[in-house]
Structure 1
Amino acid sequence: MTLFEAIVFGIIQGITEFLPVSSTAHIVITQLVFGYTFPGLAFEIYLHMASVLAVIMYFWKDLWSVIQGFFKFIIYRSKEDKVPFFFGVYILIATFITGVLGMLLSDFIADAMKTPALIAASLTVTGLALIFIERFHRLGHRDESSMNGLDAVIVGLGQTIAVIPGISRSGATLVASLLMGLNRDTAVRYSFLLAIPVILGSSILALDEFSAGMLNYIGPFNLFISFIVCFFFSLLGIIWLINFLKKSKLIYFAIYCFIVAILVYTLIDPSTVMDV
Protein backbone atom coordinates (compact mmCIF):
# COMPACT_ATOMS: atom_id res chain seq x y z
CA MET A 1 0.00 0.00 0.00
CA THR A 2 1.30 3.43 -0.92
CA LEU A 3 1.22 6.38 1.49
CA PHE A 4 -1.38 8.07 -0.73
CA GLU A 5 -3.66 5.03 -0.55
CA ALA A 6 -3.24 4.83 3.23
CA ILE A 7 -4.28 8.48 3.55
CA VAL A 8 -7.28 8.02 1.25
CA PHE A 9 -8.50 4.94 3.14
CA GLY A 10 -8.09 6.83 6.43
CA ILE A 11 -10.12 9.76 5.11
CA ILE A 12 -12.89 7.57 3.67
CA GLN A 13 -13.23 5.43 6.80
CA GLY A 14 -13.09 8.41 9.13
CA ILE A 15 -15.54 10.69 7.38
CA THR A 16 -18.13 7.98 6.59
CA GLU A 17 -18.04 5.90 9.80
CA PHE A 18 -20.59 8.00 11.65
CA LEU A 19 -22.53 9.45 8.75
CA PRO A 20 -25.66 7.47 7.75
CA VAL A 21 -24.15 6.45 4.40
CA SER A 22 -22.40 3.10 5.18
CA SER A 23 -18.65 3.27 5.67
CA THR A 24 -18.39 -0.38 4.57
CA ALA A 25 -19.80 0.46 1.14
CA HIS A 26 -17.37 3.36 0.74
CA ILE A 27 -14.35 1.29 1.79
CA VAL A 28 -15.35 -1.41 -0.71
CA ILE A 29 -15.78 1.15 -3.50
CA THR A 30 -12.40 2.68 -2.66
CA GLN A 31 -10.79 -0.75 -2.81
CA LEU A 32 -12.28 -1.34 -6.24
CA VAL A 33 -11.12 2.08 -7.49
CA PHE A 34 -7.55 1.29 -6.44
CA GLY A 35 -7.81 -2.35 -7.45
CA TYR A 36 -6.73 -3.16 -3.92
CA THR A 37 -7.70 -6.09 -1.70
CA PHE A 38 -7.00 -6.14 2.03
CA PRO A 39 -5.40 -9.28 3.44
CA GLY A 40 -8.28 -10.15 5.77
CA LEU A 41 -10.16 -7.65 7.92
CA ALA A 42 -7.24 -6.49 10.08
CA PHE A 43 -6.72 -3.12 8.38
CA GLU A 44 -10.42 -2.22 8.46
CA ILE A 45 -10.63 -3.15 12.14
CA TYR A 46 -7.51 -1.10 12.78
CA LEU A 47 -9.15 1.95 11.21
CA HIS A 48 -12.33 1.32 13.20
CA MET A 49 -10.26 1.64 16.36
CA ALA A 50 -9.22 5.12 15.26
CA SER A 51 -12.89 6.02 14.77
CA VAL A 52 -13.94 4.74 18.18
CA LEU A 53 -11.09 6.66 19.79
CA ALA A 54 -12.54 9.81 18.22
CA VAL A 55 -15.98 9.03 19.71
CA ILE A 56 -14.48 8.45 23.14
CA MET A 57 -12.57 11.72 22.97
CA TYR A 58 -15.57 13.77 21.80
CA PHE A 59 -18.11 12.19 24.17
CA TRP A 60 -15.81 11.56 27.13
CA LYS A 61 -17.92 13.68 29.48
CA ASP A 62 -21.11 11.84 28.47
CA LEU A 63 -19.35 8.49 28.66
CA TRP A 64 -17.91 9.25 32.10
CA SER A 65 -21.31 10.47 33.30
CA VAL A 66 -22.95 7.19 32.23
CA ILE A 67 -20.20 5.01 33.73
CA GLN A 68 -20.07 6.97 36.97
CA GLY A 69 -23.85 7.12 37.32
CA PHE A 70 -24.16 3.40 36.51
CA PHE A 71 -21.93 2.26 39.36
CA LYS A 72 -23.02 4.97 41.81
CA PHE A 73 -26.64 3.88 41.40
CA ILE A 74 -25.68 0.26 42.06
CA ILE A 75 -23.83 1.25 45.23
CA TYR A 76 -25.89 4.14 46.62
CA ARG A 77 -29.26 3.82 44.85
CA SER A 78 -29.40 7.60 44.59
CA LYS A 79 -32.25 9.08 42.57
CA GLU A 80 -30.02 11.43 40.57
CA ASP A 81 -28.03 8.46 39.23
CA LYS A 82 -31.08 6.49 38.09
CA VAL A 83 -31.24 8.01 34.57
CA PRO A 84 -27.54 7.45 33.68
CA PHE A 85 -27.75 3.95 35.20
CA PHE A 86 -30.63 2.90 32.97
CA PHE A 87 -29.12 4.68 29.98
CA GLY A 88 -26.06 2.49 30.51
CA VAL A 89 -28.31 -0.58 30.81
CA TYR A 90 -29.98 0.30 27.50
CA ILE A 91 -26.58 0.61 25.83
CA LEU A 92 -25.67 -2.86 27.17
CA ILE A 93 -28.98 -4.39 26.02
CA ALA A 94 -28.67 -3.04 22.48
CA THR A 95 -25.01 -4.10 22.36
CA PHE A 96 -25.84 -7.63 23.55
CA ILE A 97 -28.57 -8.04 20.95
CA THR A 98 -26.30 -6.75 18.20
CA GLY A 99 -23.40 -8.95 19.32
CA VAL A 100 -25.36 -12.20 19.53
CA LEU A 101 -27.50 -11.76 16.43
CA GLY A 102 -24.62 -10.19 14.50
CA MET A 103 -22.45 -13.28 14.99
CA LEU A 104 -25.31 -15.56 13.97
CA LEU A 105 -26.23 -13.56 10.88
CA SER A 106 -22.63 -13.10 9.73
CA ASP A 107 -22.47 -16.84 9.03
CA PHE A 108 -25.36 -16.50 6.59
CA ILE A 109 -23.90 -13.57 4.68
CA ALA A 110 -21.99 -15.60 2.15
CA ASP A 111 -19.47 -14.17 -0.28
CA ALA A 112 -22.09 -14.54 -3.02
CA MET A 113 -24.14 -11.82 -1.28
CA LYS A 114 -21.27 -9.33 -1.26
CA THR A 115 -21.99 -8.01 -4.72
CA PRO A 116 -22.51 -4.57 -6.28
CA ALA A 117 -26.23 -5.32 -6.60
CA LEU A 118 -26.54 -6.04 -2.88
CA ILE A 119 -24.49 -2.97 -1.93
CA ALA A 120 -26.64 -0.79 -4.21
CA ALA A 121 -29.88 -2.29 -2.88
CA SER A 122 -28.76 -1.85 0.73
CA LEU A 123 -27.80 1.78 0.16
CA THR A 124 -31.22 2.31 -1.41
CA VAL A 125 -32.90 0.79 1.66
CA THR A 126 -30.85 3.08 3.89
CA GLY A 127 -31.96 6.08 1.82
CA LEU A 128 -35.63 5.06 1.90
CA ALA A 129 -35.49 4.57 5.67
CA LEU A 130 -34.00 8.04 6.13
CA ILE A 131 -36.74 9.58 3.96
CA PHE A 132 -39.46 7.72 5.85
CA ILE A 133 -38.24 8.84 9.27
CA GLU A 134 -37.79 12.41 8.07
CA ARG A 135 -40.97 12.88 6.02
CA PHE A 136 -43.56 10.42 7.31
CA HIS A 137 -42.82 9.99 11.00
CA ARG A 138 -43.67 12.60 13.61
CA LEU A 139 -40.61 13.86 15.47
CA GLY A 140 -40.52 12.51 19.02
CA HIS A 141 -39.83 14.47 22.18
CA ARG A 142 -38.65 11.73 24.53
CA ASP A 143 -35.19 11.99 26.09
CA GLU A 144 -33.06 9.45 27.96
CA SER A 145 -35.11 9.91 31.15
CA SER A 146 -38.13 8.32 29.44
CA MET A 147 -36.30 5.53 27.61
CA ASN A 148 -37.22 1.92 28.30
CA GLY A 149 -36.11 -1.60 27.52
CA LEU A 150 -38.19 -1.80 24.35
CA ASP A 151 -36.29 1.18 22.93
CA ALA A 152 -33.01 -0.65 23.50
CA VAL A 153 -34.31 -3.86 21.93
CA ILE A 154 -35.58 -2.13 18.78
CA VAL A 155 -32.40 -0.08 18.38
CA GLY A 156 -30.30 -3.21 18.96
CA LEU A 157 -32.25 -5.04 16.25
CA GLY A 158 -31.85 -2.06 13.93
CA GLN A 159 -28.13 -1.99 14.57
CA THR A 160 -27.93 -5.73 13.82
CA ILE A 161 -29.23 -5.14 10.29
CA ALA A 162 -26.02 -3.21 9.62
CA VAL A 163 -24.15 -6.52 9.23
CA ILE A 164 -25.58 -6.45 5.69
CA PRO A 165 -23.04 -4.70 3.44
CA GLY A 166 -24.32 -1.25 2.50
CA ILE A 167 -26.63 -0.79 5.49
CA SER A 168 -25.36 2.08 7.61
CA ARG A 169 -24.92 1.32 11.34
CA SER A 170 -25.35 4.94 12.34
CA GLY A 171 -28.30 5.28 9.95
CA ALA A 172 -29.99 2.16 11.34
CA THR A 173 -29.60 3.25 14.97
CA LEU A 174 -30.75 6.80 14.23
CA VAL A 175 -33.84 5.60 12.34
CA ALA A 176 -34.71 3.05 15.04
CA SER A 177 -34.26 5.61 17.83
CA LEU A 178 -36.37 8.24 16.07
CA LEU A 179 -38.97 5.61 15.21
CA MET A 180 -39.33 4.91 18.94
CA GLY A 181 -40.05 8.57 19.58
CA LEU A 182 -36.71 9.75 20.95
CA ASN A 183 -35.83 13.34 20.16
CA ARG A 184 -33.00 13.97 17.73
CA ASP A 185 -30.37 14.93 20.31
CA THR A 186 -30.99 11.78 22.38
CA ALA A 187 -31.05 9.58 19.27
CA VAL A 188 -27.72 10.98 18.04
CA ARG A 189 -26.09 10.64 21.47
CA TYR A 190 -27.38 7.08 21.90
CA SER A 191 -26.17 6.13 18.42
CA PHE A 192 -22.67 7.48 19.01
CA LEU A 193 -22.25 5.92 22.46
CA LEU A 194 -23.50 2.58 21.11
CA ALA A 195 -20.66 2.63 18.59
CA ILE A 196 -18.07 2.33 21.37
CA PRO A 197 -18.90 -1.16 22.74
CA VAL A 198 -19.93 -2.47 19.32
CA ILE A 199 -16.68 -1.49 17.59
CA LEU A 200 -14.51 -2.48 20.57
CA GLY A 201 -16.31 -5.82 20.87
CA SER A 202 -16.00 -6.68 17.18
CA SER A 203 -12.33 -5.69 17.28
CA ILE A 204 -11.62 -7.99 20.24
CA LEU A 205 -13.40 -10.88 18.50
CA ALA A 206 -11.24 -10.30 15.41
CA LEU A 207 -7.85 -10.07 17.17
CA ASP A 208 -6.73 -13.21 15.37
CA GLU A 209 -6.85 -11.19 12.12
CA PHE A 210 -3.88 -9.11 13.28
CA SER A 211 -0.48 -10.44 12.31
CA ALA A 212 3.02 -9.45 11.32
CA GLY A 213 1.87 -10.04 7.75
CA MET A 214 -0.47 -7.04 7.91
CA LEU A 215 2.36 -4.88 9.24
CA ASN A 216 4.64 -5.92 6.41
CA TYR A 217 1.93 -5.75 3.76
CA ILE A 218 0.83 -2.21 4.54
CA GLY A 219 3.95 -0.84 6.20
CA PRO A 220 4.42 0.56 9.74
CA PHE A 221 4.55 4.21 8.64
CA ASN A 222 1.48 3.85 6.40
CA LEU A 223 -0.41 2.22 9.27
CA PHE A 224 0.50 5.07 11.61
CA ILE A 225 -0.49 7.77 9.11
CA SER A 226 -3.77 6.07 8.18
CA PHE A 227 -4.68 5.81 11.88
CA ILE A 228 -3.98 9.50 12.54
CA VAL A 229 -5.85 10.57 9.39
CA CYS A 230 -8.82 8.31 10.22
CA PHE A 231 -8.95 9.64 13.79
CA PHE A 232 -8.89 13.26 12.61
CA PHE A 233 -11.59 12.78 9.97
CA SER A 234 -13.74 10.69 12.33
CA LEU A 235 -13.65 13.55 14.82
CA LEU A 236 -14.43 15.97 12.00
CA GLY A 237 -17.33 13.79 10.87
CA ILE A 238 -18.79 13.64 14.39
CA ILE A 239 -18.64 17.40 14.86
CA TRP A 240 -20.03 18.08 11.38
CA LEU A 241 -22.91 15.59 11.69
CA ILE A 242 -24.04 16.91 15.07
CA ASN A 243 -24.01 20.50 13.81
CA PHE A 244 -25.65 19.49 10.51
CA LEU A 245 -28.55 17.71 12.17
CA LYS A 246 -29.30 20.74 14.34
CA LYS A 247 -30.25 22.79 11.30
CA SER A 248 -30.75 20.40 8.40
CA LYS A 249 -32.46 17.14 7.48
CA LEU A 250 -31.59 13.48 6.99
CA ILE A 251 -33.12 13.54 3.50
CA TYR A 252 -29.86 14.92 2.08
CA PHE A 253 -28.07 11.76 3.20
CA ALA A 254 -30.84 9.73 1.54
CA ILE A 255 -30.23 11.49 -1.77
CA TYR A 256 -26.51 10.83 -1.42
CA CYS A 257 -27.17 7.11 -0.75
CA PHE A 258 -29.31 6.90 -3.91
CA ILE A 259 -26.57 8.53 -6.01
CA VAL A 260 -23.88 6.17 -4.67
CA ALA A 261 -26.22 3.18 -5.19
CA ILE A 262 -26.73 4.14 -8.84
CA LEU A 263 -22.98 4.59 -9.38
CA VAL A 264 -22.20 1.22 -7.76
CA TYR A 265 -24.85 -0.61 -9.78
CA THR A 266 -23.98 0.98 -13.13
CA LEU A 267 -20.20 1.38 -12.96
CA ILE A 268 -19.07 -1.79 -11.16
CA ASP A 269 -19.09 -5.18 -12.86
CA PRO A 270 -22.14 -7.04 -11.44
CA SER A 271 -20.16 -10.31 -11.32
CA THR A 272 -17.63 -8.79 -8.92
CA VAL A 273 -17.62 -10.37 -5.44
CA MET A 274 -16.66 -7.71 -2.95
CA ASP A 275 -14.30 -8.37 -0.09
CA VAL A 276 -16.08 -6.98 3.02
Structure 2
Amino acid sequence: MSLIEAIIFGIVQGITEFLPISSTAHIIITQMLLGYSFPGFGFEIFLHLASILAVIIYFRKDLVEVIVGFFSFLGNRSKENRVQFLFGLYIVVATGITGVLGILLEGSIGNFLKTPPFIAIALATTGLFLIIIERFFKYGNRTVENMTFLDSVIVGLGQTLAVIPGISRSGATLITALFAGLSKETAVRYSFLLSIPVILGSSVFAIGDFADGSLVADIGLLSLVVAFLATFIFSWLGIVWLIEFLKKSKLIYFAIYCFVAAIFIFFYFDANFIMELE
Protein backbone atom coordinates (compact mmCIF):
# COMPACT_ATOMS: atom_id res chain seq x y z
CA MET A 1 0.00 0.00 0.00
CA SER A 2 1.33 3.42 -0.94
CA LEU A 3 1.59 6.22 1.62
CA ILE A 4 -1.06 8.22 -0.22
CA GLU A 5 -3.48 5.28 -0.04
CA ALA A 6 -2.64 4.82 3.66
CA ILE A 7 -3.43 8.49 4.34
CA ILE A 8 -6.68 8.34 2.37
CA PHE A 9 -7.90 5.22 4.16
CA GLY A 10 -6.90 6.73 7.51
CA ILE A 11 -8.78 9.96 6.82
CA VAL A 12 -11.90 8.14 5.60
CA GLN A 13 -11.92 5.80 8.59
CA GLY A 14 -11.26 8.57 11.09
CA ILE A 15 -13.90 10.96 9.79
CA THR A 16 -16.68 8.40 9.26
CA GLU A 17 -16.20 6.10 12.25
CA PHE A 18 -18.25 8.11 14.72
CA LEU A 19 -20.54 9.98 12.36
CA PRO A 20 -23.89 8.25 11.65
CA ILE A 21 -22.93 7.55 8.02
CA SER A 22 -21.30 4.07 8.23
CA SER A 23 -17.51 3.90 8.18
CA THR A 24 -17.65 0.34 6.80
CA ALA A 25 -19.58 1.49 3.74
CA HIS A 26 -17.14 4.33 3.14
CA ILE A 27 -14.11 2.06 3.51
CA ILE A 28 -15.58 -0.44 1.03
CA ILE A 29 -16.39 2.34 -1.44
CA THR A 30 -12.93 3.88 -1.01
CA GLN A 31 -11.39 0.50 -1.86
CA MET A 32 -13.50 0.41 -5.02
CA LEU A 33 -12.53 3.96 -5.98
CA LEU A 34 -8.82 3.30 -5.46
CA GLY A 35 -8.96 -0.18 -6.95
CA TYR A 36 -7.41 -1.59 -3.79
CA SER A 37 -8.66 -4.60 -1.84
CA PHE A 38 -7.73 -5.26 1.78
CA PRO A 39 -6.08 -8.66 2.39
CA GLY A 40 -8.50 -9.94 5.04
CA PHE A 41 -9.93 -7.99 7.99
CA GLY A 42 -6.66 -7.19 9.74
CA PHE A 43 -6.05 -3.74 8.27
CA GLU A 44 -9.61 -2.52 8.75
CA ILE A 45 -9.58 -3.64 12.40
CA PHE A 46 -6.17 -2.00 12.79
CA LEU A 47 -7.69 1.31 11.68
CA HIS A 48 -10.59 0.82 14.09
CA LEU A 49 -8.11 0.46 16.95
CA ALA A 50 -6.72 3.90 16.10
CA SER A 51 -10.25 5.31 16.28
CA ILE A 52 -10.82 3.65 19.65
CA LEU A 53 -7.56 5.06 21.00
CA ALA A 54 -8.94 8.52 20.19
CA VAL A 55 -12.17 7.72 22.07
CA ILE A 56 -10.31 6.35 25.09
CA ILE A 57 -8.13 9.45 25.36
CA TYR A 58 -10.99 11.88 24.74
CA PHE A 59 -13.34 10.20 27.21
CA ARG A 60 -10.63 9.23 29.70
CA LYS A 61 -12.34 11.06 32.59
CA ASP A 62 -15.68 9.38 31.84
CA LEU A 63 -13.98 5.98 31.66
CA VAL A 64 -12.20 6.50 34.97
CA GLU A 65 -15.47 7.57 36.60
CA VAL A 66 -17.31 4.49 35.35
CA ILE A 67 -14.52 2.03 36.19
CA VAL A 68 -13.78 3.49 39.63
CA GLY A 69 -17.47 3.86 40.46
CA PHE A 70 -18.21 0.33 39.23
CA PHE A 71 -15.69 -1.35 41.53
CA SER A 72 -16.14 1.12 44.39
CA PHE A 73 -19.83 0.20 44.53
CA LEU A 74 -18.87 -3.29 45.63
CA GLY A 75 -17.57 -1.82 48.90
CA ASN A 76 -19.29 1.54 49.14
CA ARG A 77 -22.87 1.52 47.86
CA SER A 78 -23.29 5.27 47.65
CA LYS A 79 -25.76 6.80 45.21
CA GLU A 80 -22.97 8.11 42.97
CA ASN A 81 -21.20 4.74 42.86
CA ARG A 82 -24.50 2.99 42.17
CA VAL A 83 -25.11 5.19 39.10
CA GLN A 84 -21.67 4.41 37.69
CA PHE A 85 -22.02 0.70 38.57
CA LEU A 86 -25.31 0.42 36.70
CA PHE A 87 -24.00 2.45 33.76
CA GLY A 88 -21.06 0.03 33.55
CA LEU A 89 -23.53 -2.88 33.56
CA TYR A 90 -25.54 -1.25 30.78
CA ILE A 91 -22.37 -1.04 28.68
CA VAL A 92 -21.64 -4.72 29.41
CA VAL A 93 -25.20 -5.81 28.59
CA ALA A 94 -25.35 -3.93 25.27
CA THR A 95 -21.88 -5.17 24.34
CA GLY A 96 -22.80 -8.76 25.20
CA ILE A 97 -25.93 -8.64 23.05
CA THR A 98 -24.01 -7.14 20.15
CA GLY A 99 -21.17 -9.62 20.53
CA VAL A 100 -23.31 -12.76 20.64
CA LEU A 101 -25.74 -11.75 17.90
CA GLY A 102 -22.94 -10.23 15.83
CA ILE A 103 -21.04 -13.53 15.80
CA LEU A 104 -24.21 -15.42 14.85
CA LEU A 105 -25.04 -13.00 12.05
CA GLU A 106 -21.51 -12.53 10.75
CA GLY A 107 -21.54 -15.90 9.04
CA SER A 108 -24.70 -15.02 7.17
CA ILE A 109 -23.28 -11.74 5.80
CA GLY A 110 -22.54 -12.83 2.27
CA ASN A 111 -20.72 -10.93 -0.45
CA PHE A 112 -24.08 -9.73 -1.76
CA LEU A 113 -24.48 -7.50 1.30
CA LYS A 114 -21.17 -5.83 0.44
CA THR A 115 -22.21 -4.89 -3.08
CA PRO A 116 -22.87 -1.24 -4.06
CA PRO A 117 -26.65 -1.66 -4.54
CA PHE A 118 -27.13 -3.16 -1.08
CA ILE A 119 -24.79 -0.64 0.58
CA ALA A 120 -26.79 2.15 -1.08
CA ILE A 121 -30.05 0.70 0.27
CA ALA A 122 -28.55 0.33 3.76
CA LEU A 123 -27.29 3.92 3.73
CA ALA A 124 -30.70 5.16 2.60
CA THR A 125 -32.29 3.14 5.42
CA THR A 126 -29.95 4.80 7.92
CA GLY A 127 -30.96 8.19 6.53
CA LEU A 128 -34.66 7.32 6.74
CA PHE A 129 -34.47 6.40 10.42
CA LEU A 130 -32.43 9.52 11.17
CA ILE A 131 -35.29 11.56 9.70
CA ILE A 132 -37.90 9.59 11.62
CA ILE A 133 -36.13 10.08 14.96
CA GLU A 134 -35.52 13.76 14.19
CA ARG A 135 -38.86 14.82 12.71
CA PHE A 136 -41.46 12.45 14.08
CA PHE A 137 -40.15 11.55 17.51
CA LYS A 138 -39.79 13.78 20.54
CA TYR A 139 -36.41 13.63 22.23
CA GLY A 140 -36.40 12.21 25.72
CA ASN A 141 -34.71 13.80 28.70
CA ARG A 142 -33.56 10.78 30.66
CA THR A 143 -29.91 10.84 31.74
CA VAL A 144 -27.53 8.17 33.00
CA GLU A 145 -29.22 8.33 36.40
CA ASN A 146 -32.54 7.29 34.85
CA MET A 147 -31.33 4.55 32.49
CA THR A 148 -32.67 1.00 32.73
CA PHE A 149 -31.64 -2.45 31.56
CA LEU A 150 -34.27 -2.21 28.84
CA ASP A 151 -32.37 0.76 27.39
CA SER A 152 -29.21 -1.32 27.14
CA VAL A 153 -31.09 -4.19 25.49
CA ILE A 154 -32.67 -1.88 22.90
CA VAL A 155 -29.37 -0.16 22.10
CA GLY A 156 -27.52 -3.49 22.03
CA LEU A 157 -29.99 -4.87 19.49
CA GLY A 158 -29.69 -1.69 17.43
CA GLN A 159 -25.92 -1.83 17.52
CA THR A 160 -26.03 -5.39 16.21
CA LEU A 161 -27.50 -4.13 12.92
CA ALA A 162 -24.16 -2.46 12.23
CA VAL A 163 -22.77 -5.80 11.03
CA ILE A 164 -24.60 -4.93 7.82
CA PRO A 165 -22.42 -2.71 5.59
CA GLY A 166 -24.11 0.66 5.20
CA ILE A 167 -25.81 0.56 8.60
CA SER A 168 -23.90 2.94 10.83
CA ARG A 169 -22.94 1.66 14.29
CA SER A 170 -22.98 5.14 15.77
CA GLY A 171 -26.18 5.92 13.89
CA ALA A 172 -27.88 2.74 15.09
CA THR A 173 -26.91 3.33 18.72
CA LEU A 174 -27.90 6.99 18.60
CA ILE A 175 -31.26 6.26 16.98
CA THR A 176 -32.17 3.43 19.36
CA ALA A 177 -30.96 5.34 22.43
CA LEU A 178 -33.05 8.37 21.45
CA PHE A 179 -35.98 6.07 20.65
CA ALA A 180 -35.64 4.61 24.15
CA GLY A 181 -36.07 8.12 25.58
CA LEU A 182 -32.53 9.10 26.49
CA SER A 183 -31.45 12.71 26.11
CA LYS A 184 -29.28 13.53 23.11
CA GLU A 185 -26.23 14.18 25.32
CA THR A 186 -26.65 10.86 27.16
CA ALA A 187 -27.24 8.97 23.91
CA VAL A 188 -24.06 10.41 22.36
CA ARG A 189 -21.96 9.59 25.43
CA TYR A 190 -23.38 6.07 25.66
CA SER A 191 -22.73 5.51 21.94
CA PHE A 192 -19.10 6.57 22.20
CA LEU A 193 -18.36 4.49 25.29
CA LEU A 194 -20.08 1.45 23.75
CA SER A 195 -17.74 1.62 20.78
CA ILE A 196 -14.73 0.81 22.97
CA PRO A 197 -15.54 -2.79 24.06
CA VAL A 198 -17.23 -3.62 20.75
CA ILE A 199 -14.28 -2.65 18.58
CA LEU A 200 -11.69 -4.00 21.03
CA GLY A 201 -13.62 -7.27 21.01
CA SER A 202 -13.60 -7.42 17.21
CA SER A 203 -9.82 -7.03 17.23
CA VAL A 204 -9.64 -10.66 18.37
CA PHE A 205 -10.36 -11.67 14.77
CA ALA A 206 -7.18 -9.92 13.62
CA ILE A 207 -4.80 -11.45 16.18
CA GLY A 208 -3.62 -13.98 13.63
CA ASP A 209 -2.72 -11.27 11.13
CA PHE A 210 -0.83 -9.34 13.80
CA ALA A 211 0.96 -12.37 15.23
CA ASP A 212 2.23 -13.95 12.02
CA GLY A 213 3.39 -10.65 10.54
CA SER A 214 1.16 -10.97 7.47
CA LEU A 215 -0.38 -7.54 8.08
CA VAL A 216 3.01 -5.84 7.97
CA ALA A 217 4.02 -7.91 4.95
CA ASP A 218 0.83 -7.07 3.03
CA ILE A 219 0.49 -3.39 3.92
CA GLY A 220 4.02 -2.30 4.82
CA LEU A 221 5.23 -1.05 8.21
CA LEU A 222 5.49 2.62 7.22
CA SER A 223 2.04 2.59 5.58
CA LEU A 224 0.57 1.00 8.72
CA VAL A 225 2.07 3.71 10.93
CA VAL A 226 0.90 6.50 8.62
CA ALA A 227 -2.62 5.04 8.33
CA PHE A 228 -2.84 4.62 12.11
CA LEU A 229 -1.76 8.22 12.78
CA ALA A 230 -4.12 9.61 10.12
CA THR A 231 -7.02 7.61 11.55
CA PHE A 232 -6.26 8.70 15.11
CA ILE A 233 -6.02 12.41 14.20
CA PHE A 234 -9.19 12.48 12.12
CA SER A 235 -11.08 10.32 14.61
CA TRP A 236 -10.24 12.87 17.29
CA LEU A 237 -11.38 15.71 15.06
CA GLY A 238 -14.54 13.76 14.22
CA ILE A 239 -15.38 13.23 17.90
CA VAL A 240 -14.89 16.90 18.78
CA TRP A 241 -16.82 18.09 15.74
CA LEU A 242 -19.76 15.67 16.20
CA ILE A 243 -20.26 16.55 19.86
CA GLU A 244 -20.24 20.28 19.12
CA PHE A 245 -22.38 19.83 16.01
CA LEU A 246 -25.13 17.93 17.80
CA LYS A 247 -25.34 20.63 20.46
CA LYS A 248 -26.43 23.15 17.82
CA SER A 249 -27.67 21.20 14.81
CA LYS A 250 -29.82 18.21 13.95
CA LEU A 251 -29.41 14.66 12.73
CA ILE A 252 -31.34 15.42 9.55
CA TYR A 253 -28.19 16.80 7.92
CA PHE A 254 -26.59 13.36 8.24
CA ALA A 255 -29.76 11.86 6.76
CA ILE A 256 -29.43 14.11 3.71
CA TYR A 257 -25.81 13.04 3.33
CA CYS A 258 -26.80 9.36 3.55
CA PHE A 259 -29.37 9.82 0.77
CA VAL A 260 -26.91 11.69 -1.47
CA ALA A 261 -24.20 9.08 -0.85
CA ALA A 262 -26.69 6.26 -1.51
CA ILE A 263 -27.72 7.76 -4.86
CA PHE A 264 -24.09 8.29 -5.86
CA ILE A 265 -23.09 4.75 -4.87
CA PHE A 266 -26.06 3.14 -6.58
CA PHE A 267 -25.68 4.89 -9.93
CA TYR A 268 -21.89 5.22 -10.03
CA PHE A 269 -20.94 1.71 -8.92
CA ASP A 270 -23.92 -0.41 -9.91
CA ALA A 271 -23.01 -0.61 -13.61
CA ASN A 272 -19.44 -1.61 -12.83
CA PHE A 273 -20.66 -4.26 -10.42
CA ILE A 274 -23.03 -5.73 -13.02
CA MET A 275 -20.23 -5.85 -15.60
CA GLU A 276 -18.06 -7.71 -13.09
CA LEU A 277 -20.79 -10.30 -12.60
CA GLU A 278 -21.09 -10.81 -16.35
TM-score (norm 1): 0.97
How far apart in 2 are the matches of 1:137 and 1:151?
17
Question: Does residue 223 of structure 1 match 2:224?
Answer: yes
**Structure 1: which 5+ residue stretches go unaligned?**
none
1:20 Cα deviation from its structure 2 partner: 0.2
Matching residue of 1:262: 263
Instruction: Give yes or no for the alignment of 1:12 onto 2:12.
Output: yes
Deviation per CA, 1:103-156: give whole Å up to 9, x if none. Answer: 001111112322111100000000001000000000111000000000000000
Q: Which residue of 2 aligns with 1:177?
A: 177
More displaced 10-residue stretch of structure 1: 106-115 or 220-229: 106-115
Distance 1:209 1:180 in 2: 39
User: Which stretch of the first structure deviates more once superposed, 78-87 or 150-159?
Assistant: 78-87
Match of 1:104 in 2: 104
Matches within 5 A, 1:33-182: 33-182=33-182
**Letter of the structure 2 residue corresponding to residue 106 of structure 1:** E
Supply the AA of the counterpart residue of 1:15.
I
Query: Following the alignment from structure 1 to structure 2, what is the Cα–Cα distance between the partners of residues 143 and 169?
Result: 21
| Contact residue 117 and residue 270 of structure 2 kept, 8 A | no
Equivalent pairs, count: 274
Structure 2 equivalent of residue 25 of structure 1:
25
For the 8 Å contact 1:115–1:270, the answer to whether it is kept is no
The AA in structure 2 aligned to 1:238 is: I
Aligned residue for 1:74, secondary structure, equals coil
Q: Do the aligned partners of 1:119 and 1:165 also contact (CA within 8 Å) in 2?
A: yes
Deviation at 1:271, TM superposition (A): 6.7
Cα displacement (A) at 1:77: 1.7
What letter is aligned with 1:48? H
Conserved? CA contact 1:21–1:168, under 8 Å:
yes
Q: Equivalents in 2 of 1:270, 1:236: separation in Å?
A: 35
Q: Deviations over 1:131-189 (max 9, x none)?
A: 00000000111000000000000000000001001000000000000001100000000
Q: Hey, what's the Cα distance between the residues in 2 that align with 1:122 and 1:228?
A: 29
What is the match of residue 234 of structure 2?
A: 233
5 Å matches for 1:176-255?
176-210=176-210, 211-255=212-256
Q: Deviations over 1:216-274 (max 9, x none)?
A: 22111111011011000000000000000000000000000001100110000357399
Q: Distance in 1 between matches of 2:52 and 2:231?
A: 10
The amino acid across from 1:222 in the alignment is S
Instruction: Provide Cα deviations, 1:4-44, integer angstroms capped at 9, x if missing partner.
Output: 00000000000100000000011011100110001001110
User: RMSD of aligned C-alpha atoms?
Assistant: 1.3
Which structure 1 residue ranges, 4+ long, deviate > 3 Å from structure 2?
269-274
